[in-house]
Structure 1
């Protein structure tokens, strides 16, 4: 795609723990990093998000006695998937994958999310309580951005929620599927989280490129 001056590339969580060998690895997650770095060089506006959890975060299965990773529990803000411990602040797993180095150098903003121990944060725009803002929307408006192009990990969680929230905040949203990778967790009736997010994209007007 040819970026416009009013486009921003939003690179979601290109971190070691989401790549093969990481604590919450997304299949083939490392393979998209060179392509993202190449694409980022074409954009005037680049934002990179970084999952940044304190140890013992409430979204970790290890914080709930007897719970297993990928089960769910109810939090004050709703249902929450319980994840393996991942992207703990200052750890190797929380660091950016080396394949993304050129994009990091080009980024205008690095946005850390998930730092509140009581609330998980998938979206780049707001935390999972759906009311605590990250400040990204205001930054993009002040920069003159009208369209968000999203890539990264994982397509059916943090990328997808960020795209939906971009639309909710008044931006156009395009997800580049080839530069994203999904977890694809099973849900009801033989469907997966990949099926669910794409249904939500269609309903919200998110474009898949």
Structure 2
């Protein structure tokens, strides 16, 4: 069991959006991506603040793949804050941009972080707008200002946005706990590799919220 001091602990829901589920099959659907709400809600009971991040993408951008064959191919041209192409997903004003069923309304969260609004930037982590991690979203500073020491993380996807967010939080000096039951990954191989990388960075992995206990 991991003892949790609620007064210095926050929960972080990373990109739990319909665009990453089969609710929106033409976007970036992840197997069982719509089934993590209960665990996200449960882990929040151990914390004094709850954050959520969202991809809030424009309708057109150089990173959007026009054909299935273009997905995960390099973005052409000089775009330092873009790496590979993805299907259009989580576009502002669409169903894909909404939080998955079972989560609170956005207004109920203590902090909502919107990322990916710039067509020339496609960040994965929730703490920076750019791949070079120079332009802060304000998440780290907000958590520091609230005197948070421990962060319990879940969301989509384990091997991309969750991984990058956790690494950013670890580098910022937070103790990070990843609730695997509150996450889903794109592929088993990359998810396993991500978990190994996160453990090496100092994050602690738990199977579900039953491994947590309030002090």
CA displacement at 1:105 relative to structure 2: 5.3
Aligned to 2:184: 181
Show structure 1 runs of 5+ residues with no match.
Answer: 186-191
Aligned to 2:125: 123
Match of 1:19 among 7, 18, 21: 21
User: C-alpha root-mean-square deviation of aligned residues, in Å?
Assistant: 2.2
Deviation by residue 1:130-170 (Cα, 9 ceiling, x = unmatched) = 22211111100000101111101001111110000001111
State the TM-score, normalized to the length of structure 1: 0.86
- CA separation in 2, counterparts of 1:57 and 1:129? 19
CA displacement at 1:67 relative to structure 2: 5.6
8 A contact 2:13–2:51 mirrored in 1: yes
CA displacement at 1:125 relative to structure 2: 0.8
Pairing 1:203–2:200 present:
yes
**Map of 1:53-202 to 2, 5 A cutoff?**
53-62=57-66, 68-73=70-75, 76-77=79-80, 80-101=83-104, 104=106, 106-126=108-128, 127-184=130-187, 192-202=189-199
State the TM-score, normalized to the length of structure 2: 0.84
Aligned to 1:29: 33
Instruction: Count residues in correspondence.
Output: 200
